[in-house]
């Protein structure tokens, strides 16, 4: 038996959706909070499974955690070292932020694997190189990562590729090391800037926020603080695309315009009917008359996390569009499912070529990763007839109450239990 999402498509949506707190920021804030060895309060934390996995790890490290409504209270005054070999470490990729946090605190870390969606090669060489630049000795023994931080020192890191995770891990280690560390070719995602603001509120000295060169004067004693998580820009983008495909009028609240500028630029080119004021985006179903070429790229470029939702949207557009997926070598699992629903999409050399079709038809489809599963929900909302989306566990990793939020705006969508006889 399996929980699935059942959708009867082609319903015109109308109403208001409130965006939850950012997944990609809170998965960094939670491990980082330990550095205070004190009480940290973080508001606007979404109840998604990645958060529960991180809380499980905190508890194994002897940390007291309370989670009421959307507020996390983390008291790490009694934190103690534990090898990072808990099963929860393997449920998400961002669990590797504990590497840098514990390495700086205890000068050693032994870790087993990390999790995360399968999107092609996802090495952690950049993280390891950054740690090595700061004096870490690293070895891999069978399936274990062993980090020795007995001789940590400040340093100069120049990333040869932009990585969100490696930038965050470098920051989290550098702020614990006395002296000045410079991080060049850093990622500039808003989640990194916000993490730096959080660390600064805890007492860290970080310069260059929002730029690709971050300068840290490390080794300060940190203390507890209170912080408010930002809205999830990928959730905004997902619902904005749903609105553009299916809504009479969808009002999306808690939006930071600057964070979704790449999507709004694309809407401008496609002449999507939308308006934005203060923190509210309104989107209406739009007849798109042309194709587009989109390149996924590090922030402020078009986010790879919206590539899959965008593919579903473009699948029923007039014209031919191309999305060049420049970040992940295999973020294409949704394409086969979309084609089975009637789409006409090819992938060559990381280029997704989408020939718009008139209509998708409902089917049983398999979500195989977080944003891929979300893109199939979008396809189900667009399609004629009934769609059943499998892979709910992926959606629950990153979207708070997706079904409830969509039902509130009159989507014909529900949670069901089905037996496919294959699990
Ligand atoms: C973060 C986001 C994820 C988003 C991605 C790209 C979080 C929790 N997740 O993931 O939603 O899709 O940014 O915007 O914030 N790479 C290496 N070596 C490394 C690290 C990365 O080659 O050591 C490569 C990756 O395989 C990928 C590219 O660099 O091709 C970018 O990855 P990265 O920015 O590190 O993504 P994540 O931090 O994992």
* C-alpha 193 to ligand 1 mean position (Å): 16
Same domain, yes or no: 62 and 175: yes
Share of the chain above pLDDT 70, in %: 99
In a domain, 204, yes or no: yes
**DSSP per position, 338-364:** HHHTT-EEEEETTEEEEE--S--B--E
* C-alpha 164 to ligand 1 mean position (Å): 6
Atom 13 of ligand 1: nearest residue by CA position: 164
Q: Is 186 in the pocket of ligand 1 (CB under 6 A)?
A: no
- Residue 80: pLDDT band with limits 50, 70, 90: very high
Same domain, yes or no: 28 and 166: yes
Q: Is 38 helix (H, G, I), strand (E, B) or coil?
A: coil
Same domain, yes or no: 219 and 354: no
Best residue among 164, 232, 263 to mutate for probing ligand 1's pocket (most ligand atoms within 8 Å of CB) is 164
**Which residues lie below 8 Å from residue 341, measured CB to CB, with a gap of 6+?**
360, 361, 362, 363, 365, 379, 383, 387
In a domain, 245, yes or no: no
**Average model confidence (pLDDT) across the chain:** 95
In a domain, 249, yes or no: no
In a domain, 240, yes or no: no
* C-alpha 93 to ligand 1 mean position (Å): 9
Same domain, yes or no: 205 and 312: no
Same domain, yes or no: 27 and 176: yes
- Residue 278 neighbours by CB distance under 10 Å: 8
Atom 5 of ligand 1: nearest residue by CA position: 164
In a domain, 78, yes or no: yes
Residue with tokens 């509130």: 408
Q: Is 166 in the pocket of ligand 1 (CB under 6 A)?
A: yes
In a domain, 357, yes or no: yes
Average pLDDT of the residues in 125-132: 97
Same domain, yes or no: 299 and 385: yes
Question: Integer distance in angstroms from the first to the last C-alpha of the chain?
Answer: 7
| 262 burial level (CB within 10 Å; 0-12, 13-18, 19+) | buried
pTM over 0.85: yes
pLDDT tens track for 280-289:
999 999 889 8
Q: What is the 3-state secondary structure (H, E, C) of 80-126?
A: CCCCECCHHHHHCHHHHHHHHHHHHHHCEEEECCCCCCCCCCCCCHH
pLDDT tens track for 371-398:
999 999 999 999 999 999 999 999 998 9
- Residue 75: pLDDT band with limits 50, 70, 90: very high
In a domain, 280, yes or no: no
Q: What is the pLDDT of residue 313?
A: 97
- Residue 115: pLDDT band with limits 50, 70, 90: confident
pLDDT tens track for 235-261:
999 999 999 999 999 999 999 999 999
Average pLDDT of the residues in 256-276: 97
**Which residues lie below 8 Å from residue 347, measured CB to CB, with a gap of 6+?**
332, 335, 353
Same domain, yes or no: 9 and 29: no
- Residue 162 neighbours by CB distance under 10 Å: 19
Atom 9 of ligand 1: nearest residue by CA position: 24
For the CA of 168, the closest atom of ligand 1 is 38
Atom 34 of ligand 1: nearest residue by CA position: 163
In whole angstroms, what is the distance from residue 357 CA to residue 291 CA?
12
Residue with tokens 């020939």: 355
Same domain, yes or no: 222 and 323: no
* C-alpha 42 to ligand 1 mean position (Å): 24
- Residue 117: pLDDT band with limits 50, 70, 90: low
pLDDT tens track for 200-231:
999 999 999 999 999 999 999 999 999 999 99
Question: 3-state SS of the chain: helix, strand, coil percent to 5?
Answer: 35, 30, 35
Q: What is the pLDDT of residue 243?
A: 97
Atom 12 of ligand 1: nearest residue by CA position: 305
pLDDT tens track for 139-168:
999 889 999 999 999 999 999 999 999 999
Q: Considering only CA atoms, which of 57, 131, 137, 60 is closest in space to residue 98?
A: 57
Domains contained in the chain, number: 2
* C-alpha 163 to ligand 1 mean position (Å): 5
Atom 31 of ligand 1: nearest residue by CA position: 163
Same domain, yes or no: 60 and 199: yes
pLDDT tens track for 314-326:
999 889 999 999 9
Catalytic positions: 117
Q: Is 296 in the pocket of ligand 1 (CB under 6 A)?
A: no
Same domain, yes or no: 53 and 7: no
For the CA of 163, the closest atom of ligand 1 is 34
* C-alpha 277 to ligand 1 mean position (Å): 31
In whole angstroms, what is the distance from residue 145 CA to residue 150 CA?
16
* Phi and psi based region of residue 186 (left: phi greater than 0; alpha: psi -120 to 50; beta: remaining): beta
Q: Which domain holds residue 32?
A: 23-228
Q: Is 24 in the pocket of ligand 1 (CB under 6 A)?
A: yes
For the CA of 187, the closest atom of ligand 1 is 34
Domain holding 159: CATH number?
Answer: 3.65.10.10
Q: What is the pLDDT of residue 423?
A: 61
Same domain, yes or no: 195 and 261: no
In a domain, 279, yes or no: no
Same domain, yes or no: 74 and 212: yes
């Amino acid at each position: 038996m399996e929980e699935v999402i059942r959708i009867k498509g082609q319903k015109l949506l109308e109403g208001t959706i409130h965006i939850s707190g950012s997944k990609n920021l809170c998965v960094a804030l939670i491990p980082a909070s330990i550095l205070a060895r004190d009480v940290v309060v973080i508001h606007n934390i979404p109840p998604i499974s990645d958060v529960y996995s991180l809380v499980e790890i905190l508890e194994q490290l002897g940390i007291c955690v309370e989670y009421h409504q959307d507020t996390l209270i983390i008291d790490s005054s009694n934190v103690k070292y534990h090898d990072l070999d808990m099963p929860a470490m393997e449920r998400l990729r961002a669990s590797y932020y504990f590497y840098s946090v514990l390495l700086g605190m205890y000068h050693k870390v032994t870790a087993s694997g990390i999790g995360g969606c399968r999107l092609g090669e996802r090495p952690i060489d950049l993280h390891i190189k950054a740690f090595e630049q700061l004096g870490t000795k690293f070895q891999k023994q069978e399936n274990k990562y062993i980090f020795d931080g007995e001789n940590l020192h400040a340093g100069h890191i120049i990333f040869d590729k932009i990585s969100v995770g490696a930038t965050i891990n470098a920051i989290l280690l550098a702020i614990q090391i006395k002296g000045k560390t410079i991080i060049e070719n850093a990622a500039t995602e808003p989640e990194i800037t916000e993490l730096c603001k959080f660390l600064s509120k805890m007492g860290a000295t970080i310069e260059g926020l929002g730029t690709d060169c971050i300068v840290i004067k490390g080794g300060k004693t940190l203390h507890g603080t209170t912080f408010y998580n930002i809205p999830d820009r990928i959730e905004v983008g997902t619902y904005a695309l749903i609105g553009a495909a299916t809504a009479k009028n969808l009002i999306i609240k808690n939006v930071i315009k600057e964070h979704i500028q790449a999507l709004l630029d694309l809407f401008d080119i496609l002449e999507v009917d939308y308006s934005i004021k203060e923190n509210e985006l309104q989107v209406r179903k739009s007849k798109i008359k042309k194709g587009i070429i989109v390149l996924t790229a590090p922030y402020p470029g078009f986010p790879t996390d919206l590539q899959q939702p965008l593919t579903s949207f473009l699948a029923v557009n007039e014209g031919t569009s191309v999305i060049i997926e420049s970040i992940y070598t295999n973020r294409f699992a949704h394409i086969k499912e979309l084609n089975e629903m009637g789409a006409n999409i090819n992938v060559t050399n990381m280029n997704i070529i989408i020939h718009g079709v008139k209509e998708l038809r409902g089917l049983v489809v398999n979500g195989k990763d977080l944003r891929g599963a979300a893109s199939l929900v979008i396809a189900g909302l667009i399609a004629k007839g009934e769609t059943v989306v499998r892979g709910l566990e992926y959606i629950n990793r990153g979207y708070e109450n997706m079904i409830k939020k969509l039902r509130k705006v009159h989507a014909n969508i529900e949670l069901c239990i089905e037996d496919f006889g294959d699990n």
